[in-house]
A and B are shown apart, each in its own frame.
Chain A
Amino acid sequence: MSALAQQLPAGVEIPEIPWAAISPELTLFGAGILVLLLDTAGPRRRTSSVIALAILLGIAALAAIPGGAAPEIVALLVGAGVLQLALTLWLHTRPRLLGAVLTVVALVATIGIAAWQYQAAANGGMVGTESLLADMVAVDGVALFTRFVVAGAGILTVLLGFAYLQDRRIHRGEYYPLLLFTATGMTLLASAADLLMVFLAVEILSLALYVMTGLARRDMASQEGAFKYLLLGAFSSAFLLYGIALVYGATGTTHIATAGVALSDPGTPAGLVFAGIALMLVGFAFKVALVPFHMWTPDVYQGAPTPVTAFMAAATKVAAFAAFLRVFTGGMEQLAWIWVPAVSVLAAITMLVGAALAVVQDDLKRMLGYSAVAHAGYAAIGLVAVSEIGTGATLFYLLAYAIMSLGAFGILTILERRQRKAIAVADLRGLWQSAPSLAVMFALFLLSLAGIPGTVGFIAKFGIVRAAVDAGLVWLAVVLVISSVIAAYFYIRVIVAMFMDDEPAHLADAPVPPASAASTAVSVAAVGVIALGVLPPAVIDLAERAATFAG
C-alpha cells in the first residue's frame, strides 16, 4: 500500500462533476434503479416507498436552491417527484404498465435534456465540444446525436414489446430496468472520452443486453443466443481491452485524444502502436459486427425476443459506431494510414458476405440479422472516409438504419403474435389480403433497407457514396452498389411473397390481435422513413453538424 501511495501524484484533485452534462445518463440510470425497486416491492410497499422518494426529491430540490443550482434543475427535481408519485398512485396495481410508463417517461426526459443541451451547444453555451469529468466524458455532437437516437429507439421498443412480451409470458419486471441500463451504457459509450470509459460503457450495455437476449428462459433459441452473445462478447472485450492496454503502455495515458497524439509520435515503439490498434480494431469489429467477426449476429438476432432484437439492431449499432468513430476517426486521425486500409477491406467483405448470406435465409429474423451485417459494412465506409462528411454520413446512416430496422422488426413482432412462432418467408404469402396495412408498411421498410429512392434508406446510402467518392474510395462505393443489388433480391423476394402469391398461408387465417401500441410504433417508423426520405436536408445538416469530436 505504501508503494501505491508513493506513486500517487502530489495532490489528488477532486474532479468537478458536470451534473448538467451527464444528466441524461443519470436520468436513465436513476430511472432504471427506481423501476427495479418498484418492481421488487409489493403494491402497498410500492406506494409508501414512492412517497418516501418524493419527499427525498423534495429535500434534494430544497437543498439544491442554496447550493446554487439552476432553477431548471430544481424544477426538474420537483417535477420528477410529483410525476413519479402520481404515476405510482395511479398504476400501483399494474406493475408492468407502471414500469413501461416510467421507462418511457425517462426516455422522453432524456430526449428533452439532449435537446436542451443541443440548444445550449448551438448558442455557444455551457455544453460545448469539451471533455468533462476529469476528461472521462465528452458531450459533443456525436454524443448528443446518439442520445437522441438511443432514447427514440427505446421509446419505440417499449411500445412494440408490451403486448408481445405479455403474450409470450416473458414480461418480467427486470425487462424495463435492463432496457434503461442498456440505454445508459449506450449513451455513455457515445460520450466516452477515455478508453477506460469506453470499456466500462461497453460492458454496461453488453451485460444488460446478454440478459435481455436470454429473457425467454424456457426457449432454447433465446438461451443459445444469449450464451453465444455473452461468450463472443466477452471474447471481443478481451481483445479490445488488450488493445487498450498496449495503447496505454505505448503512451502512458488512456485519454483518447491525448493517446492519439502520442501514438503518432515517431518516438513511440512501432510494435506497440500496431498491435494496440489492431487489437482494438478487432474488438470494435466484433461489437459492430464486421465480417469475419460477425458470427454472433444472426444467432443473437434470431434468438432474442423480437422487440429486443429491434432495440439491439437500432440502438446498439449507433452506440458502437459512435465509439468506433470517436476512437478511430476522431482520436487516431493521424494514424489513418495504418487502420484505414484494414477497415476498408473489412467493410468491403462485410457488405458482400452479409448480403450473400442473407439471400439463402428462410427465417425472416435471421435474414434481417444478416442484412444488419451488410448494413454495418455500409456504415463503416463513412468511418474510413476520415472526414466530417464521412462521419456525418455514418451518423445519418445509423439514424436511418435505426428507423428502418425498428419498423421491420416491429412488423415481425406483430406478425409473430398472430402466428405464435417464428416467421418464414413462406408464411407471408397473401399477407396483402389479410392485413393490407401491415403488408404495405413492411414493404416500405424493406424497400428502404434496399435503398429505393423516395425512402430514407436511399438518402442515407447516397450520403455514404458521396463520402466515399469524396475521400477517393471509389472502389468501396462500387462494392456498396454491388452489395445493394444482391440485397435487393431478398428484400424483393419477401415483398413478392406478400403481394403476388395468391394462395394465402396459414398466417392469413390467424386472427389479428389488437395491438394499438405496437401499431403506433410501427406507424411512427413508417412516417419517419418517408419523411426523411422526402425532406432530409434538415436532418442531414444536423448529422453533419454533429460530426464534431471533443478534442
Chain B
Amino acid sequence: MSVPAGYYLILAAALFSIGAVGVLIRRSVIVMFMCVELMLNSVNLTLVTFARIQANLDGQVLAFFVIVVAAAEVVVGLALVVNLFRLRASTDADGVGALRA
C-alpha cells in the first residue's frame, strides 16, 4: 500500500508553484515569506523522495542543510521586518518603496 514516488514529486512541484506564485502576487511581506518557506520545503520533499529513489543519503543530508538555512533566513528576514515595521508601522510590501518596479 505504498504511495508511488511520482505522487510526492508532483505534490512537491505543486507546492513549489504555489509558493512561487504566492511570492509574486501577495502583498503582505509575512505571507511572502511564508511562500518562500513553502518553496524551500517543497524542495525538501523532492530531495527526500529522490534520496529514497536513488537509495543514497545525499538528498537527505542536503535537506537537513536546507532546513537550517531556511530557519536562518527567516530569522534575518523577521528581524528586518520588525525593524521596517518600527520605521513605518506597516507590513504591506507595496508600501516598501518600488518593490514592484
Q: A-side interface residues toward B, CB under 8 Å?
A: 4, 7-9, 196, 199-200, 203, 207, 210-211, 214, 217-218, 220-221, 223-224, 226-228, 230-231, 234-235, 237-238, 241-242, 244-246, 248-249, 252-254, 295, 299
Contacting residues, chain A, for B99 (C-beta < 8 A): 224, 228, 299
- For residue B2, CB closer than 8 A to chain A, the reply is no
- For residue B10, CB closer than 8 A to chain A, the reply is no
**Least distance between A274 CB and chain B CB atoms (Å):** 14
Q: Are B29 and A227 in contact (CB under 8 A)?
A: yes
Q: How many residues of B are counted as interface, with CB atoms below 8 angstroms from the partner's CB atoms?
A: 45
The complex places the Cα of A203 from the Cα of B33 at a distance, in Å, of 16
Q: Are B50 and A253 in contact (CB under 8 A)?
A: no
Q: Are B16 and A196 in contact (CB under 8 A)?
A: no
**Least distance between A154 CB and chain B CB atoms (Å):** 21
Contacting residues, chain A, for B88 (C-beta < 8 A): 220
The complex places the Cα of A7 from the Cα of B57 at a distance, in Å, of 7
Q: Are B83 and A230 in contact (CB under 8 A)?
A: no
Q: Are A249 and B53 in contact (CB under 8 A)?
A: yes
- For residue B3, CB closer than 8 A to chain A, the reply is no
Interface centre among B20, B36, B43, B56 (most CB of A within 10 A): B43
Contacting residues, chain B, for A224 (C-beta < 8 A): 84, 96-97, 99
Q: Are B39 and A235 in contact (CB under 8 A)?
A: yes
Q: Are A196 and B50 in contact (CB under 8 A)?
A: no
The complex places the Cα of A207 from the Cα of B39 at a distance, in Å, of 18
Contacting residues, chain B, for A248 (C-beta < 8 A): 47, 50, 54, 58-59, 62
The complex places the Cα of A234 from the Cα of B99 at a distance, in Å, of 15
Q: Can you list 22 A-B pairs with a CB-CB distance of less than 8 A? A: A196-B65, A199-B62, A207-B72, A207-B76, A211-B76, A214-B80, A214-B83, A220-B97, A226-B80, A227-B80, A227-B81, A227-B96, A228-B96, A230-B76, A230-B80, A231-B29, A238-B36, A242-B39, A246-B46, A249-B49, A252-B56, A252-B58
Closest to A208 in B: B76
Interface residues of chain B: helix, strand, loop or mixed (majority): helix
Q: Are B54 and A249 in contact (CB under 8 A)?
A: yes
Closest to A296 in B: B99
The complex places the Cα of A242 from the Cα of B59 at a distance, in Å, of 12
**Least distance between A402 CB and chain B CB atoms (Å):** 26
Closest to B100 in A: A295
Contacting residues, chain A, for B20 (C-beta < 8 A): 235, 238
Contacting residues, chain B, for A238 (C-beta < 8 A): 16, 19-20, 36, 39-40, 43
Q: Are A223 and B83 in contact (CB under 8 A)?
A: yes
**Least distance between A282 CB and chain B CB atoms (Å):** 10
Q: Are A231 and B55 in contact (CB under 8 A)?
A: no
Q: Are B101 and A295 in contact (CB under 8 A)?
A: yes
The complex places the Cα of A221 from the Cα of B88 at a distance, in Å, of 12
Q: Are A231 and B32 in contact (CB under 8 A)?
A: yes
**Least distance between B84 CB and chain A CB atoms (Å):** 5
The complex places the Cα of A159 from the Cα of B60 at a distance, in Å, of 43
**Least distance between B33 CB and chain A CB atoms (Å):** 7
